[in-house]
Structure 1
Amino acid sequence: MLALVPVLALLVACGGGAPEGGDDPAAPGGPTLADVQPVADPHSYVGPSTARLASASVDPIAENPEPELPLTVTDAQGTSVTVHDASRILALDLYGSTARTVYELGLGENLVGRDTSSAFPEVSHLPLVTPSGHELNAEAILELAPTLIITDTSLGPWDVVLQMREAGIPVVVVDAERSLETVDDLIRQVAAAVGLPDEGEALAERTQERIDTARAEIAEIAPPAGEGLRTVFLYVRGGSGIYYLFGQGSGTDSLITGLGGVDVATEIGWTGMQPVTDEGLIAMQPEVVLLMTKGLESTGGVDGLLEAVPALASTPAGENRRFVDMADTEILSFGPASAEVLEALAVALYAPDAAQVAS
């Protein structure tokens, strides 16, 4: 599988990250699948919708766990790292996955700062170490005196990470690949870094069980196999003129199939992330377009997006204004909240009248 990170990180570095205020998640309180009545035919539904988590609260697997320290781990880059102290942790990545994982392992009180994408309520008060979008700030990090940094290659500049190591701070680099298939591995890597392998195993198993349950519930209301909604994921930053379609190996393919949809980018051999082309969109003929909320807002909403990408009007998604957006910090988080993300998106797809309507 191709990693989601390289192109997306490049887009962020080039000004394609979250617009101002992009770290604000949608207000929780969306309906669950048990609360809604699916539409009779999701293929013919007309209108946009916004996916909202039923709850944004974390659910720690343990209370006041005791990390097994000191420890030495070999991280995702093959670097041997010795950790003596996990009392002041920075868990940083482009998706907010690592901070959420630390919190769900039971060490939320040990987090001393956050990145822009870590915006769930329990950490939203913590100081940012990425004050300029998604760019790591060395001074902001050092001011927090972390005893452990857990990160991946999705944030930069990388020189800042190296600078932290030179300053004597243990830095554990976890795998940057993100998809529904890598959630359990990420949890175990983070757990190993903080000295909670047993809690990590329990959290990985619980998360996978919840994902499996969500998929089973979605399968009951989604169209039969092979007849799912033809869906694409569009990464949009209107102010920067960035319009990318995510394809096979990007991570979004696992999200779409998990929702019972047909990932049409994969179907036509569209791999990784590539700039939108009129020919590509028209060949795909998507019925649904998934987007980040701030990305959609950056174009001026649905009307602005249709104006910016005229080829969309020649697809069923454009004709039916079938755009489903979700908070930037949630839709690609691929962590302990993955089941909740699936459920929220499923409500927006299959019971859109119950979902908040996008503008």
Structure 2
Amino acid sequence: MKPFMKLAGLSLCVSLSFASSAAERVISAGSGITELIVAMDATKKLVAVDMSSMVPESEKLEKLGYHRTLSAEGLLSVEPDLIIGSPEMGPKAALDIVRQADVDVEVLPQATDPEQLLKNVDTLASLLDTDSQVSDQLKQQINEQLKRIDELKGQLKRQPKVLFVLMRGDRAPKLGGGGTPADRIITLAGGSNGAGFDGYKTASEETLLSMNPDLILVNKPTMENADAAKMLVEKLPLLKFTPAGKQDRIVNLPTAALLGGLGPSALNSSEDLAKQLVEIQ
């Protein structure tokens, strides 16, 4: 009986050791990562985020600059025990200094497809030591949303042509092609990106008119989600004569949906887009 009690005591000590080593002061440097942490109701472990991250207003968190240009001094000033970031997090020199200070730095792949998104949920759940029921519930919600999007795609009579236009203040708008965050949303929703090229290119009013889009998604890079659709029509009034303009299908795409890869915001925008595409004859 005594050997068993000793073993049980040892087991308890090991268990307590692992529990005490769980991260409690976390920095999230990447909007997609922060979005998942919020969805997992684990914001209580956050002490700071980068400028691109969106958190509930009730959370009073330090903002430590943009995830590409972080400083070692800023990161260490909030005394983190774990920093989680995207592959764009940097610079490397700052992260090396933080690692030398015995702070764990973890990099998660950017989710470009549902499979990687689900893997990132599992990885975050492990890093943050969250209840497995919470991560399982989030993955179930993601899978259910993907199923709803697939069902909507099944109702499409044809593959509508969609354009994504990025507003840039006084400069000419840019058209988003293949490989862009908006393209991922369009494709997932069942639309066809009418750009016909990869990346971004400046687009004139005549170019957009000639593409004859069924729907136009618009964004102006700002965290306040300005009414970019209204701005676009005011700047390029002839767009009102495209199929998209005639059917009042020049719509805003939230900034959050374009940041940090495929995540809850991008899925929400894709589902909203899929609902609109179903209505196109």
Q: What do the CA deviations read for 1:137-192 (whole angstroms, capped 9, x no partner)?
A: 44432221111000013344443333322332111011134344532132233234
Q: How many Å separate the matches in 1 of 2:192 and 2:269?
A: 18
Give the aligned partner of residue 48 of structure 2: 113
How much has 1:206 moved relative to structure 2? 1.1
Q: C-alpha separation between the residues in 1 aligned to 2:249 and 2:265?
A: 25
Alpha-carbon spacing, 1:306–1:171, altered in 2? closer, same or farther (3 Å): same
2:213 corresponds, among 262, 286, 290, to 286
C-alpha contact (below 8 Å) 2:216/2:244 kept by paired residues: yes
Q: How much has 1:205 moved relative to structure 2?
A: 3.2
Residue 52 of structure 1 aligns with which residue? none
Q: Is the Cα contact below 8 Å between 1:247 and 1:253 reproduced in 2?
A: yes
Residue number among 219, 223, 236 corresponding to 2:156 in the alignment? 223
Structure 1 match to 2:182: 252
Percent sequence identity over aligned pairs: 23
Q: CA deviation at 1:348?
A: 6.0
Matches of 1:282 and 1:259, distance apart in 2? 23
Structure of greater Rg: 2
Query: In the alignment, is the contact (CA less than 8 A) between 1:187 and 1:200 conserved in 2?
Result: no
Structure 1: runs of 5+ lacking an equivalent: 1-66, 72-82, 353-359
Query: What is the rounded CA distance, in whole Å, between the counterparts of 1:230 and 1:89 in structure 2?
Result: 42
Distance 1:164 1:248 in 2: 36
Question: For residues 125 and 138 of structure 2, what CA distance do their matches in structure 1 show?
Answer: 10
Structure 2 unaligned runs (5+)?
Answer: 1-14
Within a 5 Å distance, the mapping from 1:114-129 to structure 2 comes to 114-121=49-56, 124-129=59-64
Q: Is the 8 Å Cα contact of residues 183 and 335 (structure 1) preserved in structure 2?
A: yes
1:236 and 1:180 mapped to 2: Cα distance? 28
Task: Give the one of 131, 153, 168 matched to 2:87.
Answer: 153
1:247/1:335 Cα in 2 relative to 1: closer, same or farther (>3 Å)? same
Cα 1:238–1:196 change in 2 (3 A) is: same
Secondary structure of the equivalent of 1:245?
strand
2:27 counterpart SS class: strand
Residue identity opposite 1:238 in structure 2: G
C-alpha contact 1:88 1:148 (8 A) present in aligned 2: yes
> CA offset at residue 117 of structure 1?
3.1
1:274 paired with 2:200, answer yes
* Per-residue deviation, 1:250: 2.8
What residue is the counterpart of 1:15 in the other structure? none
- Give 2:27's match in structure 1, choosing from 46, 71, 90: 90
What is the CA–CA distance in structure 2 between the aligned matches of 1:324 and 1:255, rounded to whole Å?
A: 14
C-alpha change, 1:234 and 1:298, in structure 2 (3 Å) is: closer
Counterparts of 1:161 and 1:114 in 2: how far apart (Å)?
15
Separation of aligned partners in 1, 2:229 and 2:267: 29
Is the CA contact 1:259–1:342 (under 8 Å) kept in the aligned structure 2? Answer: yes
CA distance in 2, matches of 1:151, 1:242: 33
2: distance between equivalents of 1:338 and 1:162? 32
* Separation of aligned partners in 2, 1:347 and 1:263: 17
Higher relative contact order (CA 8 A, sep 6+): 1
Task: Report the secondary structure of 1:119's partner residue.
Answer: coil
Residue 302 of structure 1 corresponds to 232
Q: Alignment length, in residue pairs?
A: 261
Question: Does residue 238 of structure 1 match 2:169?
Answer: yes
Query: Which structure has the highest helix share of the two?
Result: 2
Describe the shift of the 1:156–1:196 C-alpha distance in structure 2 as closer, same or farther (beyond 3 A).
Answer: same
Native 8 Å contact 1:92 1:152 kept in 2: yes
SS in 1 for 2:140: helix
2:10 paired residue number: none
Relative to the length of structure 1, the TM-score reads 0.58
**Any conservation in 2 of the 1:188–1:204 contact (CA below 8 Å)?**
no
Q: Does the 8 A contact of 1:291 with 1:324 survive in 2?
A: yes
**Equivalents in 2 of 1:101, 1:305: separation in Å?**
36
Shift of 1:275: 1.7
Change beyond 3 A, Cα 1:320–1:139: farther
Equivalent position of 1:6 in the other structure = none
- Please state how far the C-alpha of 1:203 moved relative to its aligned partner: 4.7
Q: Report what 2:108 is aligned to.
A: 174
CA distance in 2, matches of 1:245, 1:288: 13
2:7 is aligned to none
User: Cα 1:106–1:303, aligned 2, differ >3 Å: closer, same or farther?
Assistant: closer
Matches within 5 A, 1:326-345: 326-332=253-259, 334-345=262-273
After superposition, the Cα gap between the structure-2 partners of 1:160 and 1:128, relative to the gap in structure 1 and judged at 3 Å, is same
TM-score by length of 2: 0.72
